[in-house]
Amino acid sequence: MQLAGRVALVTGAGSGIGKAAAQLLAKEGAKVAALGRSDDDVQQTLEEIQKSGGEAIPVLADISQPEAMQQAIQAIADKWGRLDIVFANAGINGVWTALEELDPDEWDKTLNVNLKGTFLTVKYAIPLLKKQGGSVIVTSSVNGTRMFSNTGATAYACSKAGQVAFTKMAALELAEHRIRVNVICPGAITTNIDENTERRALEDIQEPVEFPEGKIPLTDGKPGTSEQVAQLVLFLASDNSSHITGTEVWIDGAQSLLQG
């Protein structure tokens, strides 16, 4: 078990990539703090981890709220007294629409959850991580990093680009404390994130982009899975990546190379 004795925080642990990662980290021996906005969000994740013999607790917070994230980290400290792995995964797609149609409040919500939420998650985890070193993994996206053809996703893409810059800045700052910080950039993955996406009046502004044989070359158009992304998270969380920090890794089957 690669992560025996370690403690991991996974945000957005109730579904998709977060759920798959929480389960895999627990399987590899980590005690997991599964963070969601409510008990209902993470209950199934907790039950499945515990059923498999793992140890996990629910941590409830809105990642965009400083006080809530302080309390979430304190709950981990009170329970286990340490934190080794932070998977800052929670995020939203938000509203995808033309710049003229995008409301400032819609912009703010996307940036607050995705970028500010990442900042707060890492900021308040640092004191615990400093005790023994550790690994931080941030979920960004192909959007805003290598792919810019999803017209209307401007707020989302900017938040994701910001996460990559944040990761590189944090990696250098925290290196002396033996804290590694890396960022993953998934492409099309089978999750339910589209449920929090509002697409509005995009027909008139989208540039035509056609790929006759599918948008994901490695799989002839088939999306990746949350479990595949979880394997990457495990690698970056484990000692197998002990000399890797400040690095982005695209996991998209070459989608962004084709669609960029």
Kindly name the residue from 107, 119, 156, 250 that is annotated as catalytic.
156
Contact at 8 Å (CB) between 92 and 117? Answer: no
Instruction: Please classify residue 198 by burial: count the beta carbons closer than 10 Å to its beta carbon, then call 0-12 exposed, 13-18 middle and 19+ buried.
Output: exposed
Q: What tokens does 31 get?
A: 């005690």
Q: Indicate the helix (H) or strand (E) that contains 117.
A: helix 117-130
Residue pair 184/137 in contact by the 8 Å Cβ criterion: yes
Give DSSP secondary structure letters for 51-98.
Answer: HTT--EEEEE--TT-HHHHHHHHHHHHHHHS---EEEE-----EEEE-
Distances 38 to 17, 23, 148, 164, 229 between C-alpha atoms, Å: 18, 18, 33, 28, 24
Q: How many Å apart are CA 132 and CA 216, to the nearest integer?
A: 40
CA dist 91 and 196 (Å) reads 10
Residue 124 annotated in active site: no
User: Taking the CA atoms of the chain, what radius of gyration do you get in angstroms?
Assistant: 18
Residue 112 and residue 101: Cα distance in Å, rounded? 19
Q: Which residues are catalytic?
A: 156
